[in-house]
Structure 1
């Protein structure tokens, strides 16, 4: 897959969700995005609104969605999660 996603930004959003989110069966949910990780932390998962993102070791990722507008909406939601964090934390 072409490296079109900013992994550092996605991982920063993961941290925001884990810090501010409500506990779910699988991880934490904040503003409609659920974040989870496996037991060793090498795999990170973000999902919401029909999109599932898996970020693995060495920042390899797999983004699954049925329609492009769902992906776009999901990525906008990720951006909005980071709006309230200090600029240096996710760039």
Structure 2
């Protein structure tokens, strides 16, 4: 599994979720992916039921997950959002 995402891609997906997703008290959600920030806005989060992606300082990102397959499915969701919104 290739585990390298372009920072522009991450930021684009985050913005598309904010623009087209449904807003709730925790952020915005679109196609099962939630987008939100920490209290100061320096760290962005993209999350589904199985994976949490945090993106922040110096364009570094980190995945939290239990199985590699979950990350693969998560990345497919992000690609779908990027291509269709």
5+ residue gaps in structure 1? 86-91
Q: Are the equivalent residues in 2 in contact too, given 1:49–1:74 (CA < 8 A)?
A: no
Q: Are the equivalent residues in 2 in contact too, given 1:49–1:70 (CA < 8 A)?
A: no
TM-score, normalising length: structure 1: 0.83
The offset of 1:58, in angstroms, is: 1.1
Q: Cα RMSD between the aligned structures?
A: 1.4
The offset of 1:39, in angstroms, is: 3.4
Other-structure match for 2:38: 38
Other-structure match for 1:69: 69
5+ residue gaps in structure 2? none
Other-structure match for 1:24: 24
TM-score, normalising length: structure 2: 0.88
Residue 59 in 1 paired to residue 59 in 2?
A: yes
